[in-house]
Structure 1
């Protein structure tokens, strides 16, 4: 398994943000990680990336423990947080070269050129990041997440705030990345999940209430859309 999570919990004082969840994600699958606001999605994703320590339980990505093997983890994992941290005064190409050198990539300049082409930043590469539209800033965020060619991608609300054209382009990019990577994608947009994802997990109040392929989940709720199922499972 690319991702294995076992009895993972995170408590903030007396609040259980994530309450002993377990799941697996197979290589080459795109998983939609869904839940209402405050359900524990972002907390779970931060634990999977090693940015937040769990209260209990374990998580491994490609066999690397998120807490005890964090350096190895970062070599095989790419992360796009909900609010992408970018150096706004840097130029796009300059920033990506900085990231590539941080990973100590061989032929860093060539890899930057390849990544710029892959995410469609060719016309913007010599602009300051602060001058880019939200959609292009999101592309820069995706570029920094994939520049080291990671095996696992964790994307937290990657299409939030994009216009329809930008949203469609980023969806297509994520879907193409999912052909040879394992992807966890957090979103509130059900159409996005159906367009991109193979599997879905729905989390509510820190607990998993659904974990299945999209086809099997819909088959178990005849006549219901994914949005209907989501509302039904998270309304309590």
Structure 2
């Protein structure tokens, strides 16, 4: 559906996007992941036709930018990081205004579309409220309804959960998943858990270059030692517990970490071959009078990949 070849964009002496190529399939949710300043926003703006590349090509549904810019823009819904809302308008009036600009002239069609978007984005209780009075999470929902107004085939979202609290993030994530059942979605983020929970595929971009592009599962498989065991004990001293754990296997790496409660001791346990030692740990601790509060295996693959590929952080995204 979307084919990008050798895309490059300069801001004077700064190369914000450096020779990027990728293919985004129909119905795919692609997460564009990277630190601030990596070039995510510039890439999305070029895909929408808002910015022109210095070199390279963008092809969407057999249309080419910039030649077919109007046709391509009719296929895309775009939500920038700061949703461009008119804060002095009521939500309903704003959506009415957007619908008319988008060419939905028939009153019944506008009303039907408002009902659909209200249900999808959870706007029914705020339609009569001024946008200025809404929380950032609700403003993002209104912005998403704006982007979805003409039922576009492609949805491009720039940091859609930036600045939201955990509940609001979960709500926007669920909306994206629902929309993604029918549409192609590209969204940028620097939150690893967000990308992992929402995307079919992740492209990591750093210093304007794509440094990784694959499914979450395949990215995890590419990293060794990608998990650790989190153990919390009650009734044990730090030194005694450390000695017992190290006696299980000579290659076991046992690191004491800050416990979640004062009367506990907690450890992060890894092994060179990424072997799961939970059964061995359980049986060994069973011989003592200590109580296991937590014994879980956690993945750190994406964090490790991200750190290895984007070690040098920059300032604001460009």
Residue 148 of structure 1 aligns with which residue? 150
Pairwise CA distance, 1:118: 1.1
- The equivalent residue for 1:6 is 5
Of 153, 164, 167, the residue aligned with 2:166 is 164
Counterparts in 2 of 1:88-103, with a 5 A limit? 88-103=87-102
- Corresponding residue number in structure 2 for 1:118: 120
3-state SS of the aligned residue for 1:57? strand
2:208 corresponds to: 206
Aligned to 1:186: 188
Deviation per CA, 1:86-144, whole angstroms, max 9, x where unpaired?
Answer: 01111111111111111212511211221112100100011111111111000001000
Equivalent residue, structure 2, for 1:51 = 50
TM-score by length of structure 1 reads 0.96
List aligned pairs for 1:11-90, cutoff 5 A: 11-90=10-89
Q: Is the 8 A contact 1:10 1:54 kept in 2?
A: yes
Spell out, residue by residue over 1:5-59, the C-alpha distance to the aligned partner (whole angstroms, 9 max, x if none): 0110001122211111100111111001011111111000000001111001111
Q: Residues 150-180 of structure 1, C-alpha deviation per residue, up to 9 Å, x if partnerless? A: 1101100000111111111110000111111
Cα distance in 1, alignment partners of residues 78 and 8 from structure 2: 20
Q: 3-state DSSP class of the match of 2:194?
A: helix
Give the whole-Å Cα distance in 2 for the aligned partners of 1:63 and 1:218: 34
**8 Å contact 1:203–1:210 — kept in the other structure?**
yes
Higher helix share: 1
CA contact (8 A) 1:61 1:152 kept: no
Helix, strand or coil at the partner of 2:15: strand
1:133 is aligned to 135
Asked whether the equivalents of residues 31 and 201 of structure 1 are also in contact (C-alpha less than 8 Å), the reply is: yes
Q: In the alignment, does 2:110 pair up with 1:108? A: yes
> Residue in 1 aligned with 2:302?
226
CA contact (8 A) 1:5 1:23 kept: yes
1:149 counterpart SS class: coil
Greater relative CO (CA pairs within 8 A, separation 6+): 1
What is the CA–CA distance in structure 1 between the aligned matches of 2:79 and 2:7, rounded to whole Å?
21
The offset of 1:71, in angstroms, is 1.4
RMSD of aligned alpha carbons: 1.1
Q: Using structure 2 for the length normalisation, give the TM-score.
A: 0.72
Q: Which has the larger radius of gyration?
A: 2
Contact 1:199 1:214 in 2 (8 A): yes
- In the alignment, which residue of structure 1 is the partner of 2:298? none
- Could you tell me whether the CA contact under 8 Å between 1:18 and 1:44 is conserved in 2? yes
